[in-house]
Structure 1
Amino acid sequence: MDNVFLTACKNGQKGVVEAFVKKGTININKRDETGGTPLYYACLKGSKDIVKILIDAGADTTIANNQSMLPIHVVSKSGNKDIIKMLCDNGTDINATDKTGKSPLIYATAEGKTEVAKMMLSLGADKSIKDNDGHTALDYATSKGLRDIIVMLSEETEQKDNYGNTPLHQACYNGQSEVVAVLLKSEKSDVNALNDNGETPLILTCMNSNVHIMEMLLAAGADANMKMLNGNAPLHYAASVGNKFIGKALITAKADVNTKNTDSETPLIVAALRGQNDFTALLIESGANVNAVDNAQHSAMYYAAEAGYTEIVEQLIIAGAEN
């Protein structure tokens, strides 16, 4: 009979559940082969009335399934605030984590449930909890572009994931200009923070060629000359992709047009290697050294000529290139 009762909870059959509870012959906390209890399945179904019946009959809200998922976890994903409140009022830990390290708040934000996340924060949800991948609720809110949640979680703007990325890194990488704007308003946001690859939010923005975000970062104090571990500065990446608007913004922000990476490549050499005609012109106009050489003693003109980039070779010759 326990199996029939469990099936009734899974299917939302309130009358059947009530009949079993009144009869009093079933195990209210019986687990199936996956570890799921009647309460777990009622929560998974979203049956508020059945959840109340089970809790009133003494169902344990803290029993997890074989994956360490509690009823609160599945409800957090679906977003039923009434059930969440009932569970928390009857012994559920709002900060309980499952095998993946995810808390109810993380599940709510990962599913884009803004109102549920707000409710959980009011119930004392810990916004600093990281899952097994090093992601916090703020990371998920950032990936979803949930501005209201980001504002509420702004104290955690310098939390880093397992790769050293802050929420600002993630928002810049994803091209989320509205989220970037919110994060930059936080006093705790470090606009020049480095991830484990030595990348700043500005460098990620250069890679993705987002001019609007670039301008926001520079206005907020991003260092236009801050380099990665390989010595590449933002201007190197801008030269590689050839976005002259990004280049102009960086140069206006005092980026060094003759900066060198660990191979002694200047942005001009990178632009020549990539065949970026317009960017080459921009760098020449901005005072780039047309005769600079890398560690192999090769210049921008050498690489442009070797690759057959005739227009770039002509530009360099006119600008006074000699090698």
Structure 2
Amino acid sequence: MGTVAKRKQEVNYSSIHEAIRHGNVIQLENMVKNGAGINEVDPESKFTPIHTACYVGALECLHWLLWHGADTTDVTPRGWTAAHIAAIRGQDACVQALANNSANLSCKDDRGSAPIHLSASHGHSFTLQSILRSGVDVAAADFNGWLATHCAAFHGRLGCLQMLCKWGSSVDDVDNCGNSPAHLAAQEGQLPCLKFLISNAPSSDHVLSARNDQGETPKDLANRYYKKSVVEFIDNFEYEKEHAEDEENLAFPAHVAAYKGDLYTLKTLIEQGIININERDEKMSTPSHKAAGQGYVEVLQWLVEMGANMEIQNSSGETPCDVAKRFAQLACVKLLGGDDGEDLDETDSNQFSDDEDPPLMGLAGDSSDSPGLQVSVKSKKASRGRALKKVENLERLLRIAKDNYRQLGGELPEDRKKLREERENDRHIKELEVQLEYERVRRETLEAELDEFRAETSHLNLKINELSGALKQTKAALEEMNTDKTRKKKKIKKKKDLSGGTFVRRTFN
């Protein structure tokens, strides 16, 4: 097994394009050193090496080519740059690499289509998100006046259409023939896109009554191109609007509660057996459809836990998950297990270490159906090792270049910034020193006052002790005087004479 792998690594490819198609950056580097052109055109595909790298998703080869000056403006006979190829193939990592190297993501091919149009047409929502984040104008039009929203609606790319509307694209934009995205969706029978455009518009009439330069509405185009499902939907929609019944709310209270997000009322109706959890209204919708369309995750979660059937279809053939997708209620879509398709534009925020591989098809992220370049785990780790070594070498060379520049008397922006920071720090230190001196003087003053207060307190304590001693002596003297008075009173008191009188003997001479 090891011998087979070794022979596979030692394969010599016949051209630079073949080496890139196999993701062999080492042979790519050797071929360029031996004279192969870094912008050499393949005679069969008419691709340059950078086109080939974006086509197969060879991200490391693309990085190497960009580092060594590959021309990102080279075009194929159809006017496609490497960014166009990456957008068609759904290689969002390659699009990010091109954007990081200042490639023009707004360039147009021979039909006036930019990468944003091609990614929307092919339904690569992740690639579309990368293009939009690079600053591309969402209102860019091709030679027919089509915006990216027209491309997404025409080809039925609901996820891309929802993302474009979130980025500020309007449902009122028209092409050179006056067609709005709704016209194109109706013309091609893209019913989910048409429903989303209606729900995203200020009113249904705003979309369905709009006319192009030929005076045709979306319904007229659907009739002309025999899109029966679209015609039936519009007819039902118009009939329900004209024959709206007030009694519907009274007939289906559980649906009203789910539509309003009133979980307490919905629980009461279902738990007490008044309403069946899968009851259908006149449109064959269940309470789950209502909650999913309005984005009430708590209500929908409770219905799922109570065993509501999420596979029931309404009169339009939609399950609750389909309704949530139509109204772009991504949390409800995820709850119902519909987040695996291409219609969602949420990216995984998990972080991966060097020893773990992100869930990508190859070295580049591939949101298309094609597998692209298949790279082994060992090759991915080797690629990361080479990239890290490149970072370390560039940091070393950068340090040397900066030192050389300073020796020649140059002053780098970071040096000026450092000098400003040092001056600011010195000024701040001086302010703190002045504040410290002020606080020191203030502390000494307070300490002097505290000493005076302590001396006065000591003096007052002595006075208090003296007064306390005098008070005790006065109390003792007073008690002694009271005792003497009591004794005197006892001595003065005479006994009563009980004999009745005194006999006096007199002698007379």
Sort the TM-score into its range (normalised by shorter chain). 0.5 to 0.7
C-alpha displacement of 1:182: 2.0
C-alpha displacement of 1:311: 1.3
For 1:287-298, list aligned pairs within 5 A. Answer: 287=201, 289-298=207-216
C-alpha displacement of 1:228: 1.5
Return the alpha-carbon distance in structure 1 between the equivalents of residues 238 and 218 of structure 2.
8
TM-score (norm 2): 0.40
> Structure 1 residues 317 and 280 mapped into 2: Cα distance closer, same or farther (>3 Å)?
farther
Give the alignment's Cα RMSD to 1 decimal. Answer: 2.6
Letter in 1 for 2:55: S
Q: What secondary structure is seen at the aligned counterpart in 2 of 1:238?
A: helix
Q: Which of 209, 227, 250 is 2:141 aligned to?
A: 227
> Structure 1 residues 299 and 186 mapped into 2: Cα distance closer, same or farther (>3 Å)?
same
Q: What secondary structure is seen at the aligned counterpart in 2 of 1:227?
A: coil
1:302 match: 220
Q: What do the CA deviations read for 1:278-305 (whole angstroms, capped 9, x no partner)?
A: 2222212332543221222111132345
Letter in 2 for 1:167: A
> Structure 1 residues 227 and 318 mapped into 2: Cα distance closer, same or farther (>3 Å)?
farther
For 1:1-323, list aligned pairs within 5 A. Answer: 78-79=11-12, 104-110=15-21, 112-123=23-34, 125-132=36-43, 134-154=46-66, 155=69, 156-187=71-102, 189-287=103-201, 289-304=207-222, 307-308=227-228, 309-315=231-237
Return the alpha-carbon distance in structure 2 between the equivalents of residues 151 and 319 of structure 1.
56
Q: Is the 8 A contact 1:203 1:233 kept in 2?
A: yes
Return the alpha-carbon distance in structure 2 between the equivalents of residues 254 and 163 of structure 1.
30
Return the alpha-carbon distance in structure 2 between the equivalents of residues 151 and 209 of structure 1.
25
Q: Is the 8 A contact 1:238 1:247 kept in 2?
A: yes
Return the alpha-carbon distance in structure 2 between the equivalents of residues 190 and 319 of structure 1.
48
Return the alpha-carbon distance in structure 2 between the equivalents of residues 113 and 119 of structure 1.
10
Q: How many residues align?
A: 221
Q: Is the 8 A contact 1:305 1:313 kept in 2?
A: no
Letter in 2 for 1:273: Q
Q: Is the 8 A contact 2:90 2:124 kept in 1?
A: yes
Return the alpha-carbon distance in structure 2 between the equivalents of residues 119 and 305 of structure 1.
61
Return the alpha-carbon distance in structure 2 between the equivalents of residues 267 and 316 of structure 1.
20
C-alpha displacement of 1:78: 4.5
Q: What secondary structure is seen at the aligned counterpart in 2 of 1:153?
A: helix
Return the alpha-carbon distance in structure 1 between the equivalents of residues 91 and 47 of structure 2.
18
C-alpha displacement of 1:171: 1.3
Letter in 2 for 1:79: N
> Structure 1 residues 174 and 294 mapped into 2: Cα distance closer, same or farther (>3 Å)?
same
Q: What secondary structure is seen at the aligned counterpart in 1 of 2:208?
A: coil
C-alpha displacement of 1:250: 0.5
Q: What do the CA deviations read for 1:254-311 (whole angstroms, capped 9, x no partner)?
A: 1131111222111111112222232222212332543221222111132345643211
Return the alpha-carbon distance in structure 1 between the equivalents of residues 97 and 84 of structure 2.
13
Q: Which runs of 5+ in 1 are unaligned?
A: 1-76, 81-102
Return the alpha-carbon distance in structure 2 between the equivalents of residues 139 and 119 of structure 1.
19
C-alpha displacement of 1:251: 0.9
Computing the radius of gyration from Cα coordinates, the structure with the larger value is 2
Q: Which runs of 5+ in 2 are unaligned?
A: 1-9, 243-509
Q: Is the 8 A contact 1:143 1:171 kept in 2?
A: yes
Q: What do the CA deviations read for 1:210-237 (whole angstroms, capped 9, x no partner)?
A: 1111111111112222112122211111
Return the alpha-carbon distance in structure 2 between the equivalents of residues 175 and 318 of structure 1.
41
Letter in 2 for 1:312: I
Q: What secondary structure is seen at the aligned counterpart in 2 of 1:303?
A: helix
Return the alpha-carbon distance in structure 1 between the equivalents of residues 241 and 100 of structure 2.
43
> Structure 1 residues 146 and 194 mapped into 2: Cα distance closer, same or farther (>3 Å)?
same
Q: Give the number of the structure with larger relative contact order, counting CA–CA contacts within 8 Å between residues 6 or more apart.
A: 2
Q: Is the 8 A contact 2:25 2:64 kept in 1?
A: no
C-alpha displacement of 1:124: 5.5
Return the alpha-carbon distance in structure 2 between the equivalents of residues 280 and 317 of structure 1.
17
TM-score (norm 1): 0.61
Q: What secondary structure is seen at the aligned counterpart in 2 of 1:237?
A: helix
Q: Is the 8 A contact 2:139 2:147 kept in 1?
A: yes
Letter in 1 for 2:47: H
Q: What do the CA deviations read for 1:73-130 (whole angstroms, capped 9, x no partner)?
A: xxxx9527xxxxxxxxxxxxxxxxxxxxxx9434533454321002233445431233
Letter in 2 for 1:267: P
Letter in 1 for 2:176: T
Q: Is the 8 A contact 1:147 1:179 kept in 2?
A: yes
Q: Is the 8 A contact 1:272 1:312 kept in 2?
A: no
Return the alpha-carbon distance in structure 1 between the equivalents of residues 33 and 146 of structure 2.
45
> Structure 1 residues 128 and 319 mapped into 2: Cα distance closer, same or farther (>3 Å)?
farther
Answer with 293-302 or 118-127: which moved more: 118-127
